[in-house]
A and B are shown apart, each in its own frame.
Chain A
């Protein structure tokens, strides 16, 4: 898998490749925090392939990712693109921008987390931007319902077993200026794409300037619901945020690029080599 480059409109770009640093230069580094109380916990990096790591966002064990990122307080169009392995979709929040003082602590108690949210991309209720706390229409599969419930089929059901982070998929989520969203998933280059669209739902809201940006977070249950301290969740990598709704054709091209091997394209602007008789 390959991370995406910075392009015009990039406001956040976190490869999560052993680091929580934003490489766009537009947003701060993420912090790994406990999902319930938002105190720092060590990020748990997992390996997808030879050039891709990611961060595991589970419940109470490896947390969610948080940043105070003003440019991600979208009140208009936006796009998220990322690589993900879903361990379970049960009450999983993918991305959220909300005021942590208005809802229940963390993102694990169902609806209240969406109080004060500018947007919440969630496995069982999708809110687009310019929407408040109302739970909108359910997100389409695979964001909702694919492996929800108590059985972690992706993991294989072996508590404490090494996570098999094979076969990560590329996801994208766009919201246009009217608040209509489109969800995409690719399982391989050219395989997949648009999985659903939902019209705008919710009332308009203006940022109060205090919202935090979150990646991941389980909304229900106390660990361990399943396995050893794990209740589901997802691993994230190569997260890029844009301040506009990227066109479907561009998203498909991006997805194909993300499925590329570990290659890095190097471009030269200048190269000067000087070989001379040794001075000593």
Chain B
């Protein structure tokens, strides 16, 4: 299996409640990581907007977890900071190369949270 593409996530709204302690899970997909190789490349691209803004930039992160509703015990695979969009949809993308495959059948979570800076 050369790769796994997750289709576009339609318009959803997700409150980012707290930067680090309670990240908001926007979407979850069940993935059999054992079907992939020992190392992974991940590309993520998003068009999103922040309807309000805070000191910290909004951030979209990818996690793997055995629980589709929690990142507790999970691992963050990749993250990308969004621009200070202030209500305007803007694209952002990020790539992570040669990541160690977490293995197993786990959920891939899309998590929004406050970023840094």
Q: Which residues of A contact B (CB under 8 A)?
A: 2-6, 13, 15, 17-18, 23, 50-53, 257, 260-280
Which of A53, A261, A278 is in CB contact (< 8 Å) with B17?
A261
Q: Given that A264-B114, A265-B13 are contacting pairs, would A274 and B53 also be in contact in the complex, using a CB cutoff of 8 Å?
A: no
Tell me the B residues contacting A by CB distance below 8 Å: 1-19, 24, 26-27, 31, 36-56, 58, 60, 62, 82, 84, 86-87, 89, 97-99, 108, 110, 112, 114
Kindly state the separation between the CA atoms of A45 and B8 in the bound complex, as whole angstroms.
41
Known: A18-B55, A264-B16, A272-B8; 20 extra A-B contacts, CB below 8 A, are: A2-B54, A3-B52, A4-B52, A23-B84, A51-B56, A53-B55, A262-B18, A263-B16, A265-B15, A269-B47, A271-B27, A271-B44, A272-B6, A272-B46, A274-B3, A274-B5, A275-B31, A277-B3, A278-B38, A278-B40
Of all chain B residues, which has the CB nearest A21? B84
User: Given the known A-B contacts A275-B36, A278-B39, are A270 and B8 also in contact in the complex, defined by CB atoms under 8 Å?
Assistant: yes
User: Once the chains bind, are A265 and B16 in contact (CB under 8 Å)?
Assistant: yes
Closest to A266 in B: B112
Which chain B positions have C-beta within 8 A of A261? 17
Cross-chain contact B36 with A267 (CB below 8 angstroms): no
Judging by beta carbons under 8 Å apart, are A264 and B37 in contact?
no
- Assembly CA distance A5 to B88 (angstroms): 10
